[in-house]
Amino acid sequence: MPRQTAKPSSDREAATNEQTGVDRLYKRFGKRKVSFWYKYPDGRSETFATATRGDRQGTANAERIAKRKALDIQAGEIIAGSVADMIDRFRDDIDPTHYRDQSPEGKSVRKGAYERLTLFFGRMSPAKLETTHGYQFLDDRAKAGAPIGANKDMALMQTICHYAIRWGVMRSNPFVELVKSHQLAEAFVPPASVDGFPVVVDLLEQIAEPNDLQDRTAHEFVIGRSIELA
């Protein structure tokens, strides 16, 4: 009998792959990187995410992305290029520098908003987002007793879509006018009402396009936008 010079393929796989806790998703250790790959029922396989070996944070992020993709596939939804991906990209790449409030409290508030937006919009295709979906989100949150919170969530979604256009994921932002009309209606404060003014400025940071406030005071901007929407 010829001498066996290599281990059976099943042994090689067992030596290089680990279970991840998600059915059909495996963690493979290479010389330089860690890969998370998925085995489809028909025998095909696909690598969902990779990270440099030894990079704990990168590996944790890759595992989170891979697990979400695997679970969505098993639920019957292929999420490559989905709104959930878009939200994740903004949260991981943009949030740390876009928002001045990086306190634990600020991060916690935004984390809740990301989760709510992902739950509602996550499985959709960015190209299929329409203004009516924003109204549906606002209505659902209002019925749950959080209409003001819904407006803030949609302000965040509008900002995410703004960046998605830069990334080439979307052609236009379907939520710009929806967010402005809802938030400015609630945020408008008469000139004499000084106590409420910081709230207006805070909201403007969420809904104003870049350079909107460059040559005008925040109060002038609010008055101008309110007249436009009247």
Residues 199, 123 share a domain: yes
Q: Are 86 and 164 in contact (CB under 8 A)?
A: yes
Residues 6+ apart with CB under 8 A from 59: 34, 51, 53
Residue 10 in domain: no
The per-residue pLDDT for 79 is: 54
Instruction: Please list the residues that pair with 214 across neighbouring strands.
Output: none
Compute CA 133 distance to the chain's CA centroid, rounded to the nearest angstrom: 16
How far is Cα 126 from Cα 105, in angstroms, rounded to an integer? Answer: 29
Residues 216, 144 share a domain: yes
Residue 169 in domain: yes
The per-residue pLDDT for 179 is: 65
Domain boundary among 80, 102, 117: 80
Residues 6+ apart with CB under 8 A from 54: none
How far is Cα 93 from Cα 87, in angstroms, rounded to an integer? Answer: 10
* R_g over Cα of the chain: 23
Residues 113, 53 share a domain: no
Residues 125, 69 share a domain: no
Q: Are 184 and 225 in contact (CB under 8 A)?
A: yes
Residues 207, 112 share a domain: yes
pTM, full prediction: 0.51
Range of the structural domain that residue 157 is part of: 81-230
Domain boundary among 65, 80, 95: 80
Beta strands in 11-170 (DSSP E): 17-19, 25-29, 33-39, 45-52
Residue 4 in domain: no
Residues 134, 65 share a domain: no
Residues 129, 228 share a domain: yes
Residues 124, 85 share a domain: yes
Residues 69, 59 share a domain: yes
Q: pLDDT 10s digit of each residue in the chain, 230 long?
A: 555 444 444 444 444 788 998 888 999 998 899 999 998 877 788 899 999 999 999 999 999 989 888 887 776 554 557 898 899 899 999 999 999 999 999 999 999 999 999 888 988 889 889 999 999 999 988 888 888 888 899 999 999 999 999 999 899 999 988 865 555 555 444 444 444 444 444 455 454 444 444 444 444 444 344 333 33
The owner of tokens 């944790």 is 60
Domain count across the chain = 2
Domain boundary among 37, 59, 80: 80
How far is Cα 197 from Cα 192, in angstroms, rounded to an integer? Answer: 10
Residues 97, 186 share a domain: yes
